[in-house]
């Protein structure tokens, strides 16, 4: 019999850092693993963890089958281990399916990424494009986002002042998050005077290069109580892919995110996400993306992102109280950090960021240039 619900029992996060040149990612994962074991007391093997889903990016790790560099450390010896290479949030979707199917009742998720290891994050994301055309035209995730930002700011009347406001707010919340990378306050003037990377994206509009690692323990409803007295339930998960070729996309349509949101809400039985959600964590690699993804999640109408920010939407809907990706998480596991913060909020463990009596949280992630692929996870206490 398949179980009815799947719980996130516990999360553990490595503090995000700009350049952990002296640590292997194995060291980072081991710290996270031990933290998670301390919180839950889980063991490996029979009646313990027999299935691990890791998350890593081969290009950032500079090795093929990048999970084989970490399986020993995360306890994969003689057990089942699989890799999620798409984006970390999907590891939760995958583990959810494994448990719902009755295949396993306990799954460990471990993700890592060191963006500082490669000489250039942009050179790595350039390799996300096809070798003939996209790479040759110099596209990478940053300048792809620049094109999207141009189009989106026109459509949604988002201003440079508002971009600065988003960054300032991100830092204010990040200061309360012990796991965030960029935690020092910045005034709006400094944001607006920071170097232009790719018009309209300035340096402080972009998330800083980050190294990090995240772990989560997921269990079936029957077994969750062995590991926690505050299970957080996965009630909805969905993802959606937009077309690979950049030129085929309407960069401001949020097509994939809208579809992923609708599917996740349907599974969770939620009619209106903005009424249901107490906390929202979106993967905002660049400041303009925060209101844009909030549009896609349905918290404001199409083209209303500028007004959403002007009317204090991010505060009203408790968006990115972790500081968000803007405060620094690496790609590939940013979604796991979003889910970790959402879980902490629902468990009442979010410290100075805690939203009183939070019952429902949304975690969002994206991968591919300019939000090609989106995932939406709905969690409930």
Partner 1 sequence: MAEFFGTTVADIFNTMPKRFKPEASKGVDVVIGYDCGGEGGGKWKLTVKDQVAKVETVEGDLGPCTATIIASDAETFIGVTLQKIGAIDALSQGKMKVVGDTRMLMTLLPQIFVQYTVPEKKTEVTARGILSAIGERFRPDKAAGVTLKYGYDLTGEGGGQFTITIADGTCTLKEGLDSDLAVKMTMEAVTYVGMMTGTIDGAAAFTSGKVRIDGDMMAAAATGKYFDKYVDPNAEEAEELLSLKVVTSINQRFATGPVMGKWFAGLREKKFLASVCPLCKRTLILPQEICQFCHVRTKEYVELGPEGYVTNFDLVYFASPDPLSGEVRDTPYACAWIMLEGATPEEGFAFEIKREDLPKLKIGSRVRPVWAEKPSGSFRDILHFEIID
Cβ–Cβ < 8 Å for 86, 55: no
User: CB 278 → partner 1: shortest distance, Å?
Assistant: 37
Name 217's Cβ contacts closer than 8 Å, sequence gap at least 6: 8, 9, 10, 36, 40, 42, 49, 106, 107, 108, 109, 227
- 106-114/80-84 β-pairing: unpaired
Provide the phi-psi class of 234: left if phi over 0, else alpha when psi is between -120 and 50, else beta: beta
User: 26 or 194, CB closer to partner 1?
Assistant: 26
Report how many residues bind partner 1 under the rule CB under 8 A: 28
Distance CA(300)–CA(6), nearest Å, equals 30
- 106-114/51-55 β-pairing: parallel
223 binds partner 1 (CB under 8 A): no
Out of 62, 65, 193, 196, point to the residue binding partner 1 (CB under 8 A): 62
- Single out the segment in contact with partner 1 by CB under 8 A; choices: 20-28, 162-170, 238-246, 313-321: 20-28
User: 109 or 346, CB closer to partner 1?
Assistant: 109
User: CB 239 → partner 1: shortest distance, Å?
Assistant: 28
Out of 38, 41, 47, 72, point to the residue binding partner 1 (CB under 8 A): 72
15 binds partner 1 (CB under 8 A): no
CA distances from 331 to 163, 230, 326 (A): 21, 29, 11
Out of 2, 46, 119, 275, point to the residue binding partner 1 (CB under 8 A): 119
CA distances from 158 to 203, 258, 282, 320 (A): 18, 20, 18, 19
Out of 13, 36, 44, 224, point to the residue binding partner 1 (CB under 8 A): 44
Cβ–Cβ < 8 Å for 329, 87: no
118 binds partner 1 (CB under 8 A): yes
Out of 47, 97, 101, 120, point to the residue binding partner 1 (CB under 8 A): 120
User: 5 or 24, CB closer to partner 1?
Assistant: 24
Distance CA(175)–CA(337), nearest Å, equals 16
CA distances from 235 to 4, 60, 151, 210, 226 (A): 10, 32, 34, 30, 20
Cβ–Cβ < 8 Å for 90, 363: no
Out of 1, 2, 132, 357, point to the residue binding partner 1 (CB under 8 A): 132
CA distances from 338 to 154, 252, 282, 326 (A): 28, 23, 7, 12
24 binds partner 1 (CB under 8 A): yes
- Single out the segment in contact with partner 1 by CB under 8 A; choices: 121-129, 146-154, 227-235, 348-356: 121-129
User: 26 or 150, CB closer to partner 1?
Assistant: 26
65 binds partner 1 (CB under 8 A): no
User: 70 or 180, CB closer to partner 1?
Assistant: 70
User: 42 or 152, CB closer to partner 1?
Assistant: 42
64 binds partner 1 (CB under 8 A): no
Name 58's Cβ contacts closer than 8 Å, sequence gap at least 6: 64, 65, 66, 85
Name 360's Cβ contacts closer than 8 Å, sequence gap at least 6: 270, 276, 277, 278, 279, 346, 378, 379, 380, 381
- Single out the segment in contact with partner 1 by CB under 8 A; choices: 113-121, 164-172, 222-230, 267-275: 113-121
User: 26 or 172, CB closer to partner 1?
Assistant: 26
Name 68's Cβ contacts closer than 8 Å, sequence gap at least 6: none
- Per-residue x/- marks for partner 1, 73-112, CB under 8 A? x-xxx-----------------------------------
- 51-55/80-84 β-pairing: parallel
User: 72 or 199, CB closer to partner 1?
Assistant: 72
Out of 6, 10, 11, 30, point to the residue binding partner 1 (CB under 8 A): 30
Residues in the site for partner 1, rule: CB under 8 A?
Answer: 20-24, 26-27, 30, 44, 59, 62, 71-73, 75-77, 114, 116-120, 123-124, 127, 131-132
């Amino acid at each position: 019999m398949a179980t009815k619900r799947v719980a996130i029992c516990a999360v553990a996060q490595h503090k995000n850092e700009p350049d952990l040149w002296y640590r292997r990612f194995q060291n980072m994962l081991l710290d996270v693993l031990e933290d998670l074991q301390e919180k839950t007391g889980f063991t490996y093997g029979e009646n313990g963890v027999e299935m691990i889903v890791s998350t890593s990016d081969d290009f950032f790790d500079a090795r093929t089958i990048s999970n084989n560099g970490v399986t020993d450390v995360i306890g994969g010896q003689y057990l089942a281990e699989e890799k999620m290479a798409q984006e970390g949030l999907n590891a939760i979707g995958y583990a959810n399916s494994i448990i719902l199917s009755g295949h396993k009742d306990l799954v460990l998720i471990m993700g890592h990424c060191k963006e500082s290891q490669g000489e250039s994050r942009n050179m790595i994301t350039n390799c996300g494009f096809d070798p003939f055309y996209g790479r040759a035209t110099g596209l990478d995730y940053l300048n792809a986002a620049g094109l999207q930002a141009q189009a989106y700011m026109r459509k949604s009347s988002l201003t440079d002042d508002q971009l600065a406001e988003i960054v300032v707010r991100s830092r204010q919340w990040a200061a309360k998050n012990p796991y965030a990378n960029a935690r020092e306050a910045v005034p709006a003037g400094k944001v607006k005077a920071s170097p232009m990377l790719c018009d309209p994206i300035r340096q402080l509009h972009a998330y800083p290069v980050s190294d990090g690692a995240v772990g989560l323990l997921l269990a079936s409803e029957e077994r969750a109580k062995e590991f926690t007295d505050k299970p957080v339930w996965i009630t909805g998960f969905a993802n959606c892919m937009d077309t690979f070729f950049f030129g085929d996309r309407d960069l401001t349509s949020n097509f994939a995110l809208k579809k992923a949101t609708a599917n996740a809400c349907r599974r969770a039985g939620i009619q209106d996400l903005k009424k249901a959600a107490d906390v929202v964590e979106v993967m905002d690699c660049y400041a303009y993306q925060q209101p844009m993804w909030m549009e896609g999640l349905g918290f404001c109408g199409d083209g209303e992102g500028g007004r959403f920010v002007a009317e204090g939407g991010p505060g009203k809907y408790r968006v990115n109280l972790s500081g968000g990706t803007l405060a620094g998480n690496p790609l590939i596991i940013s979604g796991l950090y979003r889910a970790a913060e959402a879980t902490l909020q629902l468990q009442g463990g979010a410290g100075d960021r805690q939203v009183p009596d939070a019952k429902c949280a949304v975690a969002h992630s994206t991968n591919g240039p300019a939000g090609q692929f989106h995932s939406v996870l709905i969690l409930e206490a």
